[in-house]
Amino acid sequence: MKRLPLNDPPFRKIIEKGLLYADKTAYIHRMLEEFTCCFLSRPRRFGKTLLVDTLEQLFREDGRELFRGLEIESSGYGFEAHPVVRITMSSAPTSPVELKDFITFTLETIADSEGLTLKAPMYSMRLQELIRLLHAKRGKGVVVLIDEYDAPVAGHLDDMGLAEANAKVLRGFFEAIKLSIPHLRFAFCTGITRFALTSMGTVPNPFTDISLDEEFAGICGFTVQEFEKIFADRMAVTLQTTKDNGSVVPDATEADLAREILDWYDGYVWGGDVRILNPFSIVSFFRNSSFEPYWAMSGDPTHLVALMQQRPQDFVLPRLKACGSEELQKSMLGRLEAVPALFQAGYLTVERARPAVGTSEGRGGKGTIYSLRTPNLEVRSSYEQFVFKSIFDKNAGLLASRGPEVLNALAGRDPRKIADVTGVILSSIPHRLHSEDENYYHAAIHSALVAMGFKAQGEVAGADGQSDEAVHLPGGKEVLVIEVKHRKLVRSGLPRRPGAEPADAADEAVERELDGALDEAEDAMRGKRYDAPFSTWDVTVIRLCLAVHGRRRVKARFLEDLPPGGAGR
C-alpha cells in the first residue's frame, strides 16, 4: 500500500516519496494541446493547487524524470523546459496597495532567480516585462500559473468596496497576461469562484473556462474508477477497522463499505456522467477509518459566509431552480445569487444537463441548462450546521444546547416559554445581520431548530398553502407545525393613552400588533390546513403560531392539538 498524501504535499514529494497519486497527466496533456489560456473553477480542497504544482514541474528542466511511468510519458509529449511564472493569490495581503506590492515582489523574486532586472514602474507592466524578458532569454514561451486567483476578492465580500478595489488590481494583472500572449506557451488560472474573473469585463477573453467541460470533468479529485483502483488494497484492513469502531455493521462486506464511502463522499458532477469523490475527505476517511464530514469541518469559504450573513433567508432553504450556464458560472461581483454561489463552493452539484431550447450543447456548458442537487451525505449532514454558524456567529454553540428547553415548553404547551426561547434565539443573532424581511425570521428559526438537533422541514406544502416549518419531535409520535408572522419595528407615530407614559403606549401598541399577527397566523394555519400533510400519519399535530415584532419581541399561541387521524379535516 502506498502511503496517503497527507497535508497537501507538492507533486514532487508525492512522486519522490512514492505516495498515493491519481494520474491526471492525460488531462494535462490534452489541455496543453488544445488551449493557450485555461481557467478552472473547483471548490476548496479539491486538488487545484496540486494540479498547478504538477504543471509547474512538467515544465522544469528535470520534468521528464518526475513523470516516469505516468500517462503523459507514453503520449508523445515532448517534455520541453519552459520558464514558469507562478503566483499563488491565497497568500496575498488584504489591501489593493499591498496586493500590488505582493505581485511586484513575487515578480521581482522570479526575475532575480533568472538574473533579470525589472524596470517598469507598474506591477502590471512588470508582469509584461518579465514575460518578455524570460521569452527572450530562454527562447521558449513562458508558462504563467495563477492559483486561487479570486482570494483577494472573494475573501472580502463583507466589504464590497475593498473587494471591488482588489478586483480592479486583478484586472490590470489579467490585462498584462492578455497583452503577453505572443510570448506565452501556456497560462492556467484556478479559483473557487467565477465572479471576480467575470467582473473584469472583456479582459479575461483569452481564458477558456473548462470548469463544466465534460472532457476535463475528472481533472481534479478521484473518479469512481480511480477510487476503485487506487484504494482497492486498503479496503480489507479498513473494513475490519470500521467494524471494530462501529462505523459499519459487523456483517458488512467490502462492497457494503464501498457503497457507504460513495454515499458519503461521491456525487460531484462537473460534466457528463463523470462522478467525482471529494479528495480531501476520501484521504481523511482512509486515514481515520471513520465517516465524518472532513471537508465541511476543514474550514468555511469566506465568501459564502459573507453572503449568508447578508441574506440568510436565501441560503437556509435555497430554491434549486434550473440554471443556464451563464447564470451558473458567471455571477457578477455585487450581484451574487445563492444557487451559483453554493454550486461554485461545492455545496451543490449538477444533477442533469440538457441543451437550452433552440441551442446545441457546447464546450464549457454554453447553451446548457443545469438542474442541481446536493452531492452527497457529507454535504447534506453538515450544510445546515454551516448555515447556523454563519447566521448566529459566536452564539451558535450556546444556542445549539437549548433543545431540552424547547421540548419542555412544548410538553407543557406553554406559549410564554416558547416565546422566551424564540426571543433568545433571535436576540443572539449579531445586530449587523438583522433584517426586516419576514423570510429572514423563518430562516433563523429553521436554522436554530436544526442546530438543536430537531428534524425540521421548512416550507412544507399543505392543502392550500405551505407552513413555515414542520418539526418531527423525538419519539416519532408528535409533529410540530409552525406559522411565523413578523411586524416591523415602528419608532414613531404610536397611539398614546391619555396620561400614559410613552413607554406604556408603545408597549400597548406592540401588544396589539403581536395579537394581530397571531390572529393572522392562526387564520392561515386553519384556513390553509397546514396540518394536511400529516393526515394519514399516526401522530399528534401540535400547531404553534409565532408573532415577532422588531428584532426580538415574540408572542406565541398554541391552537388545539389534532390527534392521530385528525389532521387535514
Give the per-residue pLDDT at 201.
55
What string of DSSP letters covers 18-48?
T------HHHHHHHHHH-SEEEEE--TTSSH
- DSSP bridge partners of 269: 275
Beta carbons within 10 angstroms of residue 78's beta carbon: 5
User: CA–CA separation, 172 vs 107, rounded Å?
Assistant: 14
Answer whether 151's CB lies under 8 Å from 303's CB.
no
Whole-model pTM: value is 0.85
Which one-letter amino acid corresponds to residue 22?
A: A
Per DSSP, the three-state class of 256 is helix
- Cell 440568510 locates to 312
Give the per-residue pLDDT at 205.
67
Per DSSP, the three-state class of 240 is helix
Per DSSP, the three-state class of 382 is helix
Which one-letter amino acid corresponds to residue 440?
A: Y
Which domains can be identified in the chain, with CATH numbers? 11-211 (3.40.50), 222-389 (no CATH), 400-558 (no CATH)
Widest pairwise Cα distance in the chain:
94
Beta-carbon contacts of 304 under 8 Å, excluding residues fewer than 6 positions away, are: 341, 342, 345, 347, 390
Give the per-residue pLDDT at 506.
65
- pLDDT-derived band at 463 (thresholds 50, 70, 90) equals low
Give the CA radius of gyration of the chain: 28
**What does the pLDDT average to over 488-496?**
54
- Structural element, H or E, at residue 469: strand 466-472
The three three-digit cell numbers of residue 8, written as one number? 497537501
- Judged on CB neighbours under 10 Å (0-12, 13-18, 19+), 349 is buried
User: CA–CA separation, 445 vs 457, rounded Å?
Assistant: 11
Per DSSP, helices labelled H in 17-159 are 25-34, 48-58, 63-66, 96-113, 123-138, 151-154
| Of 112-121, 292-301, 429-438, 526-535, highest mean pLDDT | 112-121
Give the per-residue pLDDT at 203.
45
Answer whether 87's CB lies under 8 Å from 142's CB.
no
Beta carbons within 10 angstroms of residue 532's beta carbon: 20
**What does the pLDDT average to over 111-140?**
96
Q: Which residue has the higher pLDDT, 486 or 198?
A: 486
Which one-letter amino acid corresponds to residue 356?
A: A
Q: For 278-335, write each residue's pLDDT tens digit.
A: 999 999 999 999 999 999 999 888 888 888 888 888 888 787 778 887 777 766 777 7
Which one-letter amino acid corresponds to residue 385?
A: Q
Supply the mean pLDDT for the chain: 89
- pLDDT-derived band at 493 (thresholds 50, 70, 90) equals very low
Q: For 123-135, write each residue's pLDDT tens digit.
A: 999 999 999 999 9
Sign of dihedral through CA atoms 248, 251, 255, 259?
Answer: negative
Give the per-residue pLDDT at 494.
45
User: CA–CA separation, 188 vs 219, rounded Å?
Assistant: 13
